């Protein structure tokens, strides 16, 4: 019997991805060729390939459905496809557009994202260099407009308070800049959940702030870590 290795914890504690919601679409025309870019947030390779398969059906009369995707907090899964375009002129430029996207000055951490560029040939040959520029620009210009979020690995901490105090405390915590996770309600109390940086000093400061807000009547209970979307 062979024991399965435990999943390796990511080295990254945060990365950038597409905001949750529908696919983002953007169209570019280059010398009468249409380049329709579709970007989807994807957590695994099956999801990335499903995007390609769906667009092949939707745009069944298009000549090319080129793709690239980057997955995982550490961006350790990277794939691309030229789908019939000359080798290296579509998929790789698209992948590089994803990998080189700066989400903050000097920061390139975009991941869990798939891009497909559907091309309708316009009758004018673009040449290898023209194709590279067109596919790269198609993805880059879509990312310029796409809604992005910061995804962070945070420690979920709970605070149990009476129902009568929950609303005000939650408002105070939000006003203080804390990221709130799911709230649950019991028969007598409400459990508020905060998503905090997974660092001892941060947890200590949050506990002290909470004690100050509640005159010492509420305590912070650290739980497991989760990946949480945090708006920029």
Q: Which pLDDT score, from 0 to 100, does residue 232 have?
A: 78
pLDDT attached to residue 9: 67
CATH number for the region 14-146 comes to 3.30.230.30
CA–CA distance, 20 with 22 (Å, rounded to integer): 7
**Cβ neighbours of residue 143 closer than 8 Å, sequence gap 6 or more:** 39, 97, 98, 101, 110
| Strand ranges, E, within the chain | 14-18, 24-30, 33-41, 64-71, 77-81, 113-120, 148-162, 179-180, 184-185, 189-197, 221-230
Per-residue pLDDT of 163-198, as tens digits, reads 999 999 999 999 999 999 999 999 999 999 999 998
Q: Residue 128: pLDDT above 60?
A: yes
How far apart, in Å, are the Cα atoms of 37 and each of 139, 155, 156, 196? 6, 36, 36, 36
What distance in Å separates the CA atoms of residue 199 and residue 180, rounded to the nearest whole number? 17
**Helices then strands, each counted (H, E), the chain:** 5, 11
pTM as predicted: 0.85
- CATH code for the structural domain at 151-230: 3.30.70.240
Least confident of 9-13, 121-125, 155-159, 174-178: 9-13
Residues of the chain with CATH 3.30.70.240: 151-230
Task: Indicate the pLDDT class of residue 1, thresholds 50, 70 and 90.
Answer: very low
For residue 15, report the phi and psi dihedrals to the nearest 5 degrees.
Answer: -160, 175
Inform me whether the pLDDT recorded for 4 exceeds 60.
Answer: no
The CATH 3.30.230.30 domain(s) of the chain lie at 14-146
**Residue 27 bridge partners (DSSP):** 36
Q: What is the pLDDT of residues 101-124, one digit of tens each?
A: 999 999 999 999 999 999 999 999
- The angle subtended at Cα 17 by Cα 27 and Cα 108, nearest 5°, is 95
């Amino acid at each position: 019997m062979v024991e399965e290795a435990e999943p390796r914890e990511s080295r990254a504690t945060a990365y950038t991805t597409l905001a949750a919601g529908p696919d983002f679409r953007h169209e570019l025309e280059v010398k009468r060729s249409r380049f329709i870019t579709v970007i989807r947030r994807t957590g695994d390779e099956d999801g990335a390939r499903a995007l390609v398969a769906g667009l092949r059906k939707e745009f069944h009369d298009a000549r090319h459905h080129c793709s690239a995707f980057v997955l995982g907090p550490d961006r350790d899964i990277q794939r691309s496809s030229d789908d019939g375009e000359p080798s290296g002129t579509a998929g790789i430029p698209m992948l590089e557009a994803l990998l080189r996207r700066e989400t903050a000055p000097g920061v390139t951490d975009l991941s869990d994202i798939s891009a497909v560029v559907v091309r309708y040939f316009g009758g004018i040959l673009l040449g290898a260099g023209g194709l590279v520029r067109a596919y790269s620009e198609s993805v880059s210009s879509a990312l310029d407009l796409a809604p992005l979020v910061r995804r962070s690995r945070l420690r979920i901490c709970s605070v149990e308070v009476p129902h009568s105090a929950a609303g005000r405390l939650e408002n105070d915590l939000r006003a203080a800049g804390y990221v709130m996770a799911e709230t649950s309600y019991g028969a007598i109390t409400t459990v508020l959940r905060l998503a905090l940086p997974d660092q001892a000093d941060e947890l200590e400061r949050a506990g002290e702030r909470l004690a100050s807000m509640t005159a010492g009547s509420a305590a912070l209970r650290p739980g497991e870590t989760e990946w949480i979307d945090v708006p920029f």
